[in-house]
């Protein structure tokens, strides 16, 4: 897969693209990430890429010409069938979108800045708009890195044998029969630390019991932190575990009531 990132701050991307699994995937040729400086396509000697908005208002707006020039320079290298603007106005990134994008041979990511981009970039150049959450950042560079990292984990060979993307939180979201929920608690040695022990079941060697405990704890955490994800958990076993959790919490509440 090839991913082109278009930005006015290439230096923000340098370190993360060289580190950890992402850096190794790029080095091993499993993923090709190229960074294009939008300022290289500015029409003036000051390398300006922004201007005041028509109609007045605070801030500056990224201009059409440099953005169109930067994207069009990729013709012959990138199909440009997926030109994605990282923007708070976009659809919110989730694992279903990640899996969708991971099937593509390439994509181009535009990192917005200032008060946003000229609307003609959105309507005539971009094919998609993606947000990583309901909060404001200074630009699209960090969201672009989040998207690249998430997509890279779906590519064959990027995640090694010591990890499995199938056990990641949200992995099953979008599956016909899947229920993408939050991951269970994880423990490693020592078996006890400062009076805090590892749950006995995890050291029991009973794999069926361990699987059941992990699923139940995943459901418990999801019920507490992201109850919206439980709507897809329709299996008989999940419903049985959720009923157990509700009974346990009701009992605990009764015990703690004076």
Q: Catalytic site residues? A: 88, 115, 153, 168
Q: What are phi and psi of 124, to 5 degrees?
A: -110, -10
Find, among 108, 68, 112, the residue nearest to 89 by Cα: 112
Phi/psi region, residue 174 (left: phi>0; alpha: psi -120 to 50; beta: rest), is left
Task: Yes or no: say if 188 and 199 are a contact pair by the CB < 8 Å rule.
Answer: no
Which tokens belong to 157? 């060979």
The H-or-E segment that residue 143 falls in is helix 141-152
Q: Give the SS3 label for residue 204.
A: coil
Q: Give the SS3 label for residue 84.
A: strand
Q: Compute CA 93 distance to the chain's CA centroid, rounded to the nearest angstrom.
A: 6
Give the whole-angstrom CA distance, residue 214 versus residue 219: 9
Check residue 184 and report its DSSP letter: P
């Amino acid at each position: 897969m090839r991913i082109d990132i278009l930005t006015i701050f290439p230096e923000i991307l340098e370190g993360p693209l060289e580190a950890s699994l992402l850096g190794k995937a790029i080095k091993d040729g499993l993923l090709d990430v190229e960074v294009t400086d939008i300022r290289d396509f500015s029409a003036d000697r000051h390398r300006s890429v922004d201007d005041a908005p028509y109609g007045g208002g605070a801030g500056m707006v990224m201009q059409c010409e440099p953005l169109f020039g930067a994207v069009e320079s990729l013709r012959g290298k990138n199909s440009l069938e997926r030109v994605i603007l990282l923007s708070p106005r976009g659809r919110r990134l989730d694992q279903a979108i990640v899996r969708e994008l991971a099937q593509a041979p390439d994509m181009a990511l535009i990192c917005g800045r200032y008060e946003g981009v000229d609307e003609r970039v959105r309507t005539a150049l971009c094919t998609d708009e993606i947000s990583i959450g309901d909060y404001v950042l200074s630009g699209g560079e960090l969201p672009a890195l989040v998207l690249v990292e998430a997509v890279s984990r779906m590519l064959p060979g990027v995640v090694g044998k010591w990890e499995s993307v199938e056990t990641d939180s949200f992995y099953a979201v979008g599956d016909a029969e899947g229920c993408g929920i939050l991951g269970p608690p994880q423990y490693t040695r020592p078996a006890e630390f400062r009076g805090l022990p590892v749950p006995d079941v995890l050291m029991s060697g009973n794999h069926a019991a361990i699987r059941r405990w992990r699923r139940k704890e995943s459901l418990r955490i999801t019920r507490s932190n992201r109850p919206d994800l439980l709507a897809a958990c329709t299996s008989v076993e999940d419903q049985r575990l959720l009923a157990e959790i509700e009974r346990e919490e009701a009992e605990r509440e009764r015990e703690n009531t004076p």
